[in-house]
Chains A and B, each alone.
Chain A
Amino acid sequence: MRGDGKRIFVLGLDGLGLTLMEKLLARKVMRSLEGLLSLGTLREMRSVLPTVSSVAWASYATGVNPGKHGIFGFLERIPDPFQLYIPNGSHLRHETIFQFLGREGLRVATIGVPMTYPPRPVNGIVVGCFLSPSLEKAVYPRRILPLVRKMGYMVDVQASKAMEDPEGFLAQLSDSLDARFRLCLHLLEAEDWDFFQLHVMETDRINHFFLAKWEDKEEPWAEMFIQWYRRLDSWIEVLVRKLIHGLENGTTELFILSDHGFCRVFGEVELNFWLRKNGYLRLGGGSNLASMERGTRAYSITPGRIYLNLKGRETMGSVEEGKEYEELRSELSERLLSVEDPRTGQAVVRRVYRKEEIYSGAFMDLAPDLIVEPVPGFDMKARTEAQSVVHEPMVTGMHTLDDAFLFLMPGELPQMKLELTDVISGIARRLGLELRWKPDGRNW
């Protein structure tokens, strides 16, 4: 237990890369944020592989790598009998900072943080993430449901609208952002809290569909993109005003972070098509992974995860453990590095990792055998029905491993490029606590 009364507010800006943020600041789109950044320290941060929000925020909240928390993507497989499912918070196999702080007697509130659906009861409030099918199932405790509804809160926007009705989609992004901040500002006043985390998901969504249009100066979308970021900036200003007293007298510290960077997509890379074309993957009549045939040696799940069809592990495993497994991993790693975009001859794979190179822990059995890090601009997909290795993208923005950031005020961040797993030990320490587990991230 601690008693110094210090509080921490964390603002998560999903997928707002450092580069994009700096461009927006340079163009004076986010003046409040610019002013704020001059009052604290900002560092670049590296995300995780695979670079998706579920893995990234699970790694942030636990301070450990996926091998220890068990989340490797938005889709997971049971190898035998083969089945795919969507991992959610109930599959997160490690204690989170939220749970830890609650257990230490601190009041916690989180809004929209990925992997918080289903909401685990906590000493405080949880409004679950976009993996929640409904608002009703997203909130803990139930008493806050009427309030969350009244604020117009949405668990997510409708991404399908982005192409059908881009203007409507942008309006929904604004509505959703407004509701998120309204709810946050209300709870800041109405609830006791020692730790509060507001997650803005809309930054990721707008970047997926409008970043490239902005870069291409495609009007009216480029201007609407800018206007949307101005709106975010206004909310940040309101938020900081609400926190200003604590920030000034040092009783509140503000963390702002993003979980990955963003870039435009030049091509989607279909790893299952490549595996099929090269004889590693054989699909039966069903043309999905459940119809894999005996001769299959490897298959992929989005993004960039490759599993060998290992005997004794997979339904119709064909690859022997040991020498054959290792040789196949080497062969695939080497061949994948030479995959090119046939339109330009450009390499699409930056690096291929063996799982033990980047993961460790009790859940290594869930880890893909190989993890493909793309060249930024080439989004790794795994559609079994694909007709080419590289094709034009459906979604024009993608996540990047580098270019996430962490900002802290007041206070100093260590002088180094940070990892997502570094953050929570700093949070705990600022609250006068030591984590009960050893994070993979560094202590500071």
Chain B
Amino acid sequence: MNEGFTIWFTGLTGAGKTTIARLVAEELRRRGKKVELLDGDEVRKHLSDGLGFTREDRDKNVLRIGYVCKLLSRNGVVAIGAAVSPYRETRERLRAELGDFVEVYVKCPLSVCRQRDHKGIYRAFEEGKISRVSGLDDPYEEPESPDVVLDTAKTTPQECVSEVMRALEELGYVRPEMGEEGPYNETEKALVEKRLSDLGYI
């Protein structure tokens, strides 16, 4: 079975996409997966250099990230995309094109995002230096049926990672960890062996 798939983090600027995506990437690597994180802001510096924030440019950026995710995931890599990706239609297009696509909605009230404002985007908007900010003068269309919803105003990043991992396990993309003793400790192993032996199976 190809182990590749795409996890797509969508949400407002400041909602916590990059933070959680990095932690999920770390966790997946710890579990032996090959992982590549494509962060929207980073990609804009390279693959999408020169693109602005019109709907057309935003879509181009998202579709380019999606395309790279597709190439990576078909080669057994877990590709993680983290971008505002504000338009539902574009995200649905990604889902259709990528197939193995897990959409994670990083949900956070605009007021909290504005308070966080690590990148200074909201302040720059207030000062009139930039426009076309999702959730303010540009729409952010919430996902209708995301695979995971994370409420980052109420849950810690670590809890969010657990939620994402649980969903990946439920969806069959990642095997659950069995703990140190695995499926059986010594006593349990003896018990199951006896059960099978009594039936003449082993």
Contact = CB atoms under 8 A, between A and B. Distances in A.
B200 interface: yes
B189 A86 contact: yes
B196 interface: yes
Given A86-B189, A88-B183, A95-B1, A122 B170 contact: yes
A interface, by DSSP: helix, strand, loop or mixed? loop
A131 B188 contact: no
Given A93-B1, A118-B178, A120-B175, A133 B192 contact: yes
B41 interface: no
B159 interface: no
Interface residues of A, number: 43
Interface in A370-410: 379, 381, 393-395
Interface in B163-202: 166, 169-172, 175-176, 178, 182-184, 187-189, 191-196, 198-202
A130 B194 CA distance: 12
Contacts of A130: 195
A437 B100 CA distance: 13
A118 B170 contact: no
A233 B181 CA distance: 41
A201 to B, nearest CB: 11
A158 B194 CA distance: 10
A74 B202 contact: yes
B67 to A, nearest CB: 21
Contact of B188 (A74, A134, A381): A134
B176 A121 contact: yes
A16 interface: no
A224 interface: no
A94 interface: yes
Contacts of A303: 201
A100 B192 CA distance: 28
A337 to B, nearest CB: 24
A74 B201 contact: yes
Contacts of B184: 86, 133
A123 B1 contact: no
A52 B200 CA distance: 11
A103 B103 CA distance: 12
A302 interface: yes
A95 B195 contact: no
A133 B191 contact: yes
A369 to B, nearest CB: 20
A287 interface: no
A224 to B, nearest CB: 20
B55 to A, nearest CB: 26
Contacts of A205: 199
Contact of A121 (B166, B187, B199): B166
A255 interface: no
B176 A86 contact: no
A38 interface: no
A395 B199 contact: yes
A393 to B, nearest CB: 8
Nearest to A87: B183
B170 A102 contact: yes
Nearest to B195: A156
Contacts of B166: 121
A159 interface: yes
Contacts of A133: 184, 187-189, 191-192
Contacts of A74: 196, 201-202
Interface in A4-45: none
B195 A302 contact: no
B62 to A, nearest CB: 21
Contacts of B195: 130, 156, 158-159
A179 to B, nearest CB: 17
A302 B202 contact: yes
Contacts of B169: 120-121
Contacts of A299: none
B166 to A, nearest CB: 7
B172 A102 contact: yes
B133 to A, nearest CB: 32
Interface string A158-174: 11101000000000000
A90 interface: yes
B126 to A, nearest CB: 41
Nearest to A108: B170
Contacts of B196: 74-75, 86
A99 B168 CA distance: 11
A160 to B, nearest CB: 5
A99 B172 CA distance: 6
A94 to B, nearest CB: 6
A268 B99 CA distance: 50
Nearest to B188: A133
Nearest to B169: A121
B200 A95 contact: no
A195 interface: no
Nearest to B173: A103
B200 A381 contact: yes
Nearest to B174: A121
Interface in B100-135: none
Contact of B172 (A93, A103, A379, A394): A103
Given A130-B195, A381-B200, A90 B171 contact: no
Contacts of B172: 95, 99-100, 102-103, 120, 122
A208 interface: yes
A102 B198 contact: no
9 contacts: A1-B145, A74-B202, A75-B202, A120-B172, A122-B172, A134-B188, A137-B183, A159-B195, A381-B200
Please name the 9 residue pairs, one residue from A and one from B, whose CB atoms are nearest each other, closest first.
A133-B188, A99-B172, A159-B198, A121-B169, A395-B200, A121-B170, A74-B201, A160-B198, A75-B202
Given A102-B170, A379-B200, 9 more contacts: A86-B193, A102-B172, A121-B166, A131-B192, A133-B192, A134-B188, A137-B188, A302-B200, A302-B201
